[in-house]
Amino acid sequence: MIHCLHGSAGCHTNWDLFEKSLGEEINSIDLWSLFESDKQVTLREAGRLIAEHANDGDLLMGYSMGGRIALHSLIHYPEKWRGAIIIAANPGISHGHKERKARDEEWAQLAETNWEAFLKHWDEQPLLTSPHGV
């Protein structure tokens, strides 16, 4: 089984087409449900919760925020996982915390007030746009 973790602007259904074409059973995890509780869930705690639902020898795949959670699960519960695919994720920033936090708060404010505008601006980031001629 492959446990799939979506990115911060996505949801568990992002993996639906992937499952159909892969031909292997996947568990598309709704990460937002982990963060809906009254208890504040850390990335390490989210990694633990993911590992609890895995069988030894499963695979783990994460994109962006899901990749960061996957890294925590891999580091703290390596015995659970046969392997992993981490896409567009990193373990965290080592400098510029204040600037990053301010930028993240701007994104969060836009997401809360105008979801359509958030998605439009998110998808227009240079990192996410296709190179010309592709």
**Tens digit of pLDDT for each residue in 13-42?**
888 888 778 878 899 988 888 777 666 778
C-alpha 89: how far from its chain's center?
A: 8
CA–CA distance, 58 with 2 (Å, rounded to integer):
6
- pLDDT one-digit tens code per residue, 46-100: 899 899 989 999 999 999 989 999 999 999 999 999 999 999 887 776 666 778 7
Phi, psi of 62 (to 5 degrees): -140, 145
Structure tokens at 127: 């990192």
Phi, psi of 29 (to 5 degrees): -90, 130
- pLDDT one-digit tens code per residue, 99-129: 877 887 888 888 888 888 888 888 887 765 6
Residue 132 confidence (pLDDT) above 60: no
Q: Map residue 108 onto helix, strand or coil.
A: helix
Give all domains of the chain, ordered by start, each with its CATH number.
2-92 (3.40.50.1820), 97-134 (no CATH)
**Res 43: pLDDT:** 81
Structure tokens at 22: 């892969």
**Res 37: pLDDT:** 67
User: How much is the pTM?
Assistant: 0.70
Q: How many CB atoms within 10 Å of residue 63?
A: 21
List helix spans (H) across 7-133.
16-22, 31-35, 43-52, 65-76, 97-113, 115-123
